[in-house]
Structure 1
Amino acid sequence: MKKYSLYIFVVIMVGMVSCRKELLDPVPTTDISDFKAFETKERIASQVNGLYTVLKNGKFLGGKFAITNEVRGEDFVNEKANNVTLNATWRMVPTGEAQEVKEIWSQGYITINNVNVFLDGMNAVGNKVVGDSLAKIYAGEAKFVRGISYFSLLQLYARPHWDGAGSKPGVILHWEGHNKLGSYVKARSTVNEVYAQILRDLDSAETLLPKVAPGTLTAVVHANAWSAIAYKTRVYLYLEQYDKVIQEAGKLVSTGAPFVSPAGHKLEPDVQKVFAAPYLTSESIFSLPFTGTTGDFPGTQTQLGYYFTPAAKPYTGNGEYSLHPDGIIADASWKEATDARRKFIAVSGSKKYWVKFPTPSPFTDYVPVIRYAEVLLNLAEARVRQTNSVDPYAVALLSAVRNRSDATVSYTVANFSGATVLLAAIAQEKHIELLGEGFRGMEITRLGIAFPAKSSTVPAVAPTAQQYIWPISSDELIYNKLCVDNN
């Protein structure tokens, strides 16, 4: 019997719920191949919103991807021993049959395929329907979604760039839209080839998209040129191309304090407001929005609030993961009395929980994908690595992020005896600043350090160990005989 790559097959594209339900009127269709879905401006606009809807699915960037990267690190304790809620991932022993391994792979490629189907339809019909100006914006948004999807998959399923300078197997690159059952057998591209595609998408998105001033709904939940630039600072950091990080960040970050972008991006004075409604701060570069409308919030057991907040009132989480007492919260430099980020810690019984995403069920907190604080820290690290010095600009950037949350701390060059000490401080600041947002696992593999031990039964995982990265989904290996697993 012929086998098919069903996980990338699109049955419905239009009719997805939107990033915000009120922004579209979905027109359902089950026939993409005749391009009827591209015959009106309304249907095309609906599909653009649908691209974000698939991206923000709780099985991908709207939940499990971030949770996975957090619980792979050392900051959380698994309280339920439930494999449905990532117990195997926390223990660093997931197989290709693990639910999360299959779900994130599948949803990532569904997202990518939706982009490819959309771009094919626009090239065939839709561009003429909406006109050149709007067609460029839609293409830019689609390419941004595809670029960040490939980047996300690469961090879990492929060896880091430092291992073999990008020559190791990456993930599978698809450019064509698949809208019919078929055998889409294809080998994995190299890590470098995947990064090259990511950067082609982000460079194109920057060129095609407008530069939108921050702080509005459109600026935060739809991609624009600033989103693409900001995300490239992350991509180049992971590629170890520090001169390119500096180049891209230079488009966003001023040369001196208070570090405001040309468009007005800046650190929100109160860090807690970044994670509270309406989620539209000048720091919020790109986020995934949710509402209480059925179908427009993360699915069951995929929500950040469900995993990380306790069940005790005023929270309605499931307390799946408490904060590890020996994790980042044990850092003595992160002052409990004066740092506002400590307010994201809640005590329930004898445990501490991370409540950065506190909104009760159905857990509609926006999920930040990239914030201005990260851009500042990316630039700070790149400056130090590029100059191999205690770079004053890098120190000032680091100080800005820490001082925003703790007014008692301001760093100067004199605080750091050398580049190595400064790099450690920047890494620690990023660890604190982005806790709970899905960075820790990615940062560990990027930096080539071991995953720390979490308990006597969950030992450290060395960078050379097989479980340092995830296996490929067993579904892919069954249906695609050209794809080889990680070993």
Structure 2
Amino acid sequence: MQLKIKNNLKKYITGIAITTTLLQACKSESGLYPVPETTISDRNVFDTPARIEGLVNGIYRNLKAASLYGGRYLMYQDVRGEDFINVTLNSFTGFDSWNNSYSSGSNDINNLWSAAYTTINSANIVIQGLENTTVISEAAAAAYVGEAKFLRALSYFSLITVFAQPYALDQGASPGIPLRLQAETSTANNALARSTVAEVYAQIIQDLNDAESALPDNYTTAMLNTTRAHKNTATALKTRVYLTTGNFPKVIEEAAKIVPQTTAPFSAQRGVAHALQSDIQVLFSSNYTTTESILSMPMTPTDALSGQSAIGFVYLVNREYYLNPTGILGSAQWSATDVRRNLLQTTAGRQYLRKYAKASPFVDYIPVIRYAEVLLNYAEAAAEGGQLDLASSLLLAVHRRSDPSFTLAADIANDKSRLLTAIAHERRIELLGEGFGGQDLLRKLQALPAKGDANIQTPRVEPSAQNYIFPPPNTEIATNPLFR
């Protein structure tokens, strides 16, 4: 772990803000909006239930960093696919990701790495600090540790999918990333070799299994059910992780826990009653806490990103990427009457994404996991396993929510290869701008496509190319002598 991260984390643990404002935020649902007031000693941060809760809230706060799930990580992933065309060549808003031209010194690379490992270390601090606590009940401590392990797993997954070779290349035998599982408050343990990709994924799954066992079924409000991890949150993320490693039977096993039906309508019968909302536009405009939103990063007027840090500014206000007319935008599967086209905006003949359409201070919640994704993960795994009827039903449920007249031709529904193609197209339509563009290509070992217009172009990148994955950050190279 780089010096910058450790120094920041020492400040975090010795000077963490456990304040009246933060504690009120804990009680008023999300708990993700801390405002500093005083500092306390690192010897006392686990001394009261309120301080412990503040530490847990701090993990979510770190996850919500601009370079991670504050939105920019989603953008880095999406613009690697073919569906966005860059306009500005602005290195501060993901052009190097779009152009597949990052270097180890790129700010995006170093900031993403730092944000994820800061989240990981804050999770490790909570996990280690609650090992023998008597300040809170055993059940409460276990639930907090479950949240910490979930957030650690999500952070590692976010790193391993961009900084290491895809699992499918060699079943995870390639070098991965350093697997840091102990709390660090100094630079003493910087030297740590990479674990393999398979070892990192094994830890992610172990953390998610532990989290699922320890987390509560639900919380008392829709806000908490959307912004804090519960059992279904861990299960939903497992469907994404197993899909990424190509373990389709496990995707099916996990998805069935929260999608127990084999025909529509689909809904969770355990914990939070997750289901598709009747109108997808609601999720991105008027209600960010419906049961479709399994996990989202909340924003408020006093706690929101601004300028180039805000994904809404990049996509819609400054219009730095427009939708490729020859990409998914031009797919026959996405009809002109599909309600999801209302999440686009036409300006000067170009289509721009408006899922994040609130004006400054950009208070749109950032989606991390939606029930629609779980249905599509399940659909792909079911199709891969030869359950074509189930896969078709899941695909149709997602599509018909926005386009009721849609039908799936028999020669597609009954053909595994063509059905998988339709599911892949549906993912690009439904999850556009939510961080799946590059990830879905890499997990299948597909090339990053050539794209552009008359002004800017970027070439195709094959899986064997060095720039198929992100380069390691200079900060890690410089401070970790075992990082090779």
Same fold (TM over 0.5): yes
- Say whether 1:444 aligns with 2:450: no
Identify the range of structure 1 (393-402 vs 182-191) with the bigger mean alpha-carbon deviation: 182-191
Question: Between the two proteins, what is the percent identity of the paired residues?
Answer: 38
RMSD across aligned positions (CA): 2.1
* CA spacing shift, 1:440–1:164, aligned 2, 3 Å: same
Partner of 1:68: 76
Whether the 8 Å contact between 1:284 and 1:368 is mirrored in structure 2 is yes
Does 2:269 correspond to 1:262? yes
> How is 1:334-353 mapped onto 2 (pairs within 5 angstroms)?
334-336=334-336, 338-353=337-352
Structure 2 gaps of 5+ residues are none
**Within the alignment, does 1:97 sit opposite 2:105 as a pair?**
yes
What is the Cα deviation at residue 413 of structure 1?
4.6
Q: How does 1:299-338 map to 2 (within 5 A)?
A: 299-309=306-316, 317-336=317-336, 338=337
- The question of whether the paired residues in 2 share the 8 Å contact of 1:214 and 1:284 is answered with no
**Counterpart residue number, 2:4:** 6
Number of the residue aligned with 1:224: 230
Are 2:292 and 2:370, in contact at CA under 8 Å, matched by a contact in 1? Answer: yes
Which residue is equivalent to 2:207? Answer: 201
State yes or no: 1:52 paired with 2:60: yes
Aligned residues of 1:462 and 1:468 also touching (Cα < 8 A): yes
Partner of 2:288: 279
Residue number in structure 1 paired with 2:359: 360
Q: Decide whether the 8 Å contact of 1:170 with 1:194 is kept in 2.
A: yes
> What secondary structure does 2:12 align onto?
coil
Per-residue deviation, residues 428-487 of structure 1 (Å, max 9, x unmatched): 101110000011110010111111111373111111111111000111001112112xxx
Partners of 1:272 and 1:18 lie apart in 2 by 32
User: SS state of the match for residue 458, structure 2?
Assistant: coil
Indicate the residue corresponding to 2:385 in structure 1: 386
1:139 matched to 2:148: no
1:446–1:32 distance in 2 versus 1, CA, 3 Å: farther
Q: CA–CA distance in 2 between the matches of 1:30 and 1:74? A: 47
Deviations, residues 263-307 of structure 1 (Å, cap 9, x unaligned): 4211111011111233111111111111111xx212542211011
Per-residue deviation, 1:411: 2.7
| Contact map agreement 1:8 1:109 (CA 8 A) in 2 | no
Distance in 1 (alpha carbons) for counterparts of 2:22 and 2:241: 27
Classify 1:266/1:197 alpha carbon distance in 2 versus 1 (closer, same or farther; 3 Å). same
Match for residue 17 of structure 2 among 15, 18, 21: 15
Matched, 1:297 2:304: yes
Counterpart residue number, 1:123: 131
Equivalent-residue separation in structure 2 for 1:183 and 1:95 (angstroms): 26
Residues 18, 52 of structure 1: 8 Å contact kept: no
Q: Is residue 62–residue 298 contact of structure 1 (8 Å, CA) maintained in 2?
A: yes
Partner of 2:379, secondary structure, is: helix
Partner of 1:402: 399
Q: What letter matches 1:206 in structure 2? A: E
Instruction: Quote the offset at 1:414 in angstroms.
Output: 4.7
Alpha-carbon offset, residue 137 of structure 1: 1.1
Q: TM-score, normalised by structure 1?
A: 0.91
**Match of 2:112, as an amino acid?**
I
Give the unaligned 5+ runs of structure 1. Answer: 310-316
Does the CA-based 8 Å contact 2:227-2:295 persist in structure 1? Answer: yes
- Secondary structure, in 3 states, of the residue corresponding to 2:67? coil
* Cα deviations by residue, 1:372-422 (Å, 9 ceiling, x for unpaired): 1111111111111122x6x10111111111111101113365543511001
Partner amino acid for 1:235?
V
The 1:60/1:32 distance shift into structure 2, 3 A limit, reads farther
Question: TM-score under structure 2 normalisation?
Answer: 0.92
Match of 2:161 among 155, 166, 171: 155
Q: Distance between the aligned counterparts of 2:470 and 2:196, measured in 1?
A: 16
Q: Secondary structure at the match of 1:266?
A: coil
1:145-190 C-alpha deviation (Å, 9 max, x unpaired): 0000000001110110111111001111011111124341101100
> Could you tell me whether the CA contact under 8 Å between 2:6 and 2:187 is conserved in 1?
no
In structure 2, what residue type is equivalent to 1:282?
Answer: T
Indicate if the aligned counterparts of 1:384 and 1:419 stay in contact, CA closer than 8 A: yes
Say if 1:417 and 1:249 are closer, same or farther in 2 by CA, change over 3 A: closer
Letter in 2 for 1:7: I
Kept after mapping to 2: 8 A contact 1:18/1:53: no
- Which secondary structure does the structure 1 equivalent of 2:309 belong to? coil
Query: How far apart, CA to CA, are the structure 2 residues paired with 1:177 and 1:97?
Result: 27
The CA deviation at 1:351 is 2.4
Counterpart secondary structure, 1:250: helix
Contact 1:172 1:187 in 2 (8 A): yes
